[in-house]
Structure 1
């Protein structure tokens, strides 16, 4: 132990040694003492490491003691707010006279001091990578395409095998939502859906602290996190860097790069926080676009598609048989007049759900008020008639009174308004039958 301390005393990185069972500091080298502004041994020797280095009263939530083994290193990164620095960390365990000690070597990214030429090269390279990924992302107005282009650009710039994004699911699992693979590398995205929280628990502890995870050698990582090792090994991963994706104070996933060259890992890590924020902003833009699309294409009351979305739907249809089912609810005006509009809204919602479930997976559109439209593609005329009869029976069973107009055409070459007008006429005749059967002598109110 004495020789080890002598070796690390003047080491340029921060090095400390603690007794694992007690968390007491037994050694801190000169670089560490200077970083923490400690001037006497009693300020750290025999003191708790979490108190000395972080100012905590309790052990660190991300303490790696339980993951340490002899002759292997646990690689990670940490933000030390006490000294306002980010460190690349390598931890290992040594045993002397039956006592286990933790040895930590921490490289302060804020005080790296390469030669001027190296600094300039690194700055130029980082600037080039950032410019390339920004150019890729903003070359398209499609937010999903922007994410795909960004991770492809980063993956190629980092000379890696794979670049990816995982997003958290409501049930606590995580799923791979975007992936780029180098030519010849097998995609893994379909195998990495709903990854369990137990598999992610070690990584999540670091992500919750805003920390990246660096694995230089997967085999060395095996005893630290066997469950994650079993997930990574079949993917032919030997090294990786992963970091959290956060919007505001909410972490929603992580992103990573597989098998980058070892000499590039340090440079990748220095950019990871900035790149993580950028990728998180692209995901935020995607979600905003999705929400805006939902608001513009979906009816607020029922959640069905609205009239505005019908135009895009019709443009995408291929030239094949088409069947319109047009509905106008019976009795809505009576419900609104006698029971109030709240009850009328509940009636509309219930009818919408019945129609949605019947026609699923085909869309149902709320055309306004109490009118709905569903479009079926590819039916024969006989199949359309059978569906119309089944639909009417289903509506009776569900106690939904509505007039129905059905029109079948062998192709969709006719303009939409022509087919719709015919369906509206058929619906109008059906509504006349409804009122006639109940001996109504008033004129049919098309808004009823």
Structure 2
């Protein structure tokens, strides 16, 4: 049987597969079978004859970089698999050279559509990979006591699964009607956005999510929709949306939300645990009457300060004058309000640096603060206290840029405070005479 007779027999048999002939030198198409013409919506043979195979079949302006012409012979088929992104199909391809009756050498290609089989394998692989990633994420949360590190590890695992540029978590504050980007993983080429995405009004979030439903892209830093795709899975807490996990620019499994949806349950559980731990820490280290740090926090921080060196440090020791007498005269309700007022003024000038260490005693510790700034704040605070009708406090303050022990500085500030306290009592005694 001649090559041409073989070709005629192939045409008769291969009615369900793609068949075409082309010139291996000029790349001009000589023949397309009916199935291939149907795929490319070709009605008449004159529409394809003389056209370049790479142009018509692959949509390219130059010969395909994967062209197999150099491997082909007259003796046997060269078999390979190829995804044609021009028609979005996978093919098992068999190529060889044939010789026509007029001794012309042509390229024969027979392509079997294996898209369904490939997609089934991909889906199975995706399912297995997704389950393995989910198990790894759960193990990470269970084994890692550091919640921040555990979540960041999970985000990196999600990014690896999806081949994503960025993976992030937004958490809602429903009372303040705001949302913040609380965790973020980025690849090396992407600029982190987490610091720019804090305290965003929920109305803005909802607008962006509405855009996402239309365009499958979530972009908080631009008014226009960018080209990349996003995947979003909501975080549900007590039947309410409490935030979401986002994946930007997924390059794998970009139509598969199973992993993202599954992991949200475990992330929500750990976020709840983190909130509980934060609340316990707040209760352990916060004076509930004033909102300042309490004695537990003071003792803990002193241990930390003992192991640190400071370029400078300022200490303030404050004691409320006559609190017992005030309580006896006005009642503890008003005494508590007096303590709150003292704490409020103190926190205004020394935010997150003040401790209530006793019923009427307060300490402020200001590491790495310049002397001028420290003394200015102390002076403003004293003026504020003096303007308050019911507040009288004794204050001792010290500042140092030497390696003096913090305990020695506290004792010195305490001593100065008692000097003022003696002046206060002397005035009280003189007023009774």
1:320 alignment partner, SS class: coil
Q: Within 5 Å, give how 1:48-447 maps onto structure 2.
A: 121-169=125-173, 170-201=175-206, 218=215, 236-261=226-251, 264-266=253-255, 268-314=256-302, 315-316=304-305, 317-360=308-351, 363-378=353-368, 388-399=378-389, 400-414=391-405, 416-439=406-429
1:166 alignment partner, SS class: strand
2:137 alignment partner, SS class: helix
1:348-380, CA deviations, whole angstroms, 9 ceiling, x for partnerless residues? 0011111111223x5111011010011233456
For residue 384 of structure 1, report the CA deviation from its aligned partner: 5.4
Unaligned runs of 5+ residues in structure 1 are: 1-112, 207-212, 223-227, 443-448
Q: Does the 8 Å CA contact 1:324/1:406 hold for their aligned counterparts?
A: yes
For residue 142 of structure 1, report the CA deviation from its aligned partner: 2.1
1:36-81, CA deviations, whole angstroms, 9 ceiling, x for partnerless residues? xxxxxxxxxxxxxxxxxxxxxxxxxxxxxxxxxxxxxxxxxxxxxx
For residue 319 of structure 1, report the CA deviation from its aligned partner: 2.0
Q: Does the 8 Å CA contact 1:137/1:149 hold for their aligned counterparts?
A: no
For residue 252 of structure 1, report the CA deviation from its aligned partner: 1.2
Whole-Å separation in 1 of the counterparts to 2:120 and 2:280: 49
For residue 285 of structure 1, report the CA deviation from its aligned partner: 2.2
For residue 390 of structure 1, report the CA deviation from its aligned partner: 4.2
Whole-Å separation in 2 of the counterparts to 1:357 and 1:200: 32
1:338 alignment partner, SS class: helix
Whole-Å separation in 2 of the counterparts to 1:115 and 1:376: 63
For residue 233 of structure 1, report the CA deviation from its aligned partner: 8.0
Whole-Å separation in 2 of the counterparts to 1:151 and 1:385: 46
Whole-Å separation in 2 of the counterparts to 1:422 and 1:261: 64
Structure 1 residues 152 and 232 mapped into 2: Cα distance closer, same or farther (>3 Å)? farther
Structure 1 residues 338 and 410 mapped into 2: Cα distance closer, same or farther (>3 Å)? same
RMSD between aligned residues: 3.4
Structure 1 residues 146 and 194 mapped into 2: Cα distance closer, same or farther (>3 Å)? same
1:305 alignment partner, SS class: coil
TM-score, scaled to structure 2: 0.62
Whole-Å separation in 1 of the counterparts to 2:202 and 2:314: 47
Whole-Å separation in 2 of the counterparts to 1:248 and 1:427: 51
Structure 1 residues 436 and 293 mapped into 2: Cα distance closer, same or farther (>3 Å)? same
2:429 alignment partner, SS class: coil
For residue 409 of structure 1, report the CA deviation from its aligned partner: 2.8
Structure 1 residues 176 and 391 mapped into 2: Cα distance closer, same or farther (>3 Å)? closer
For residue 326 of structure 1, report the CA deviation from its aligned partner: 0.5
Q: Within 5 Å, give how 1:21-36 maps onto structure 2.
A: none
Structure 1 residues 380 and 194 mapped into 2: Cα distance closer, same or farther (>3 Å)? closer
What is the total number of aligned residue pairs between the two structures?
Answer: 311
Whole-Å separation in 1 of the counterparts to 2:237 and 2:135: 22
Whole-Å separation in 1 of the counterparts to 2:245 and 2:291: 33
TM-score, scaled to structure 1: 0.61
Structure 1 residues 428 and 252 mapped into 2: Cα distance closer, same or farther (>3 Å)? same
Q: Does the 8 Å CA contact 2:298/2:357 hold for their aligned counterparts?
A: no
Whole-Å separation in 2 of the counterparts to 1:381 and 1:199: 44
Structure 1 residues 404 and 231 mapped into 2: Cα distance closer, same or farther (>3 Å)? closer
1:165-186, CA deviations, whole angstroms, 9 ceiling, x for partnerless residues? 1122445343322221122123
1:132-186, CA deviations, whole angstroms, 9 ceiling, x for partnerless residues? 2233334532222222221122112221111111122445343322221122123
Structure 1 residues 133 and 422 mapped into 2: Cα distance closer, same or farther (>3 Å)? same
Whole-Å separation in 2 of the counterparts to 1:389 and 1:182: 49
Q: Does the 8 Å CA contact 1:325/1:374 hold for their aligned counterparts?
A: yes
2:357 alignment partner, SS class: strand
Whole-Å separation in 2 of the counterparts to 1:380 and 1:190: 28
Whole-Å separation in 2 of the counterparts to 1:198 and 1:423: 50
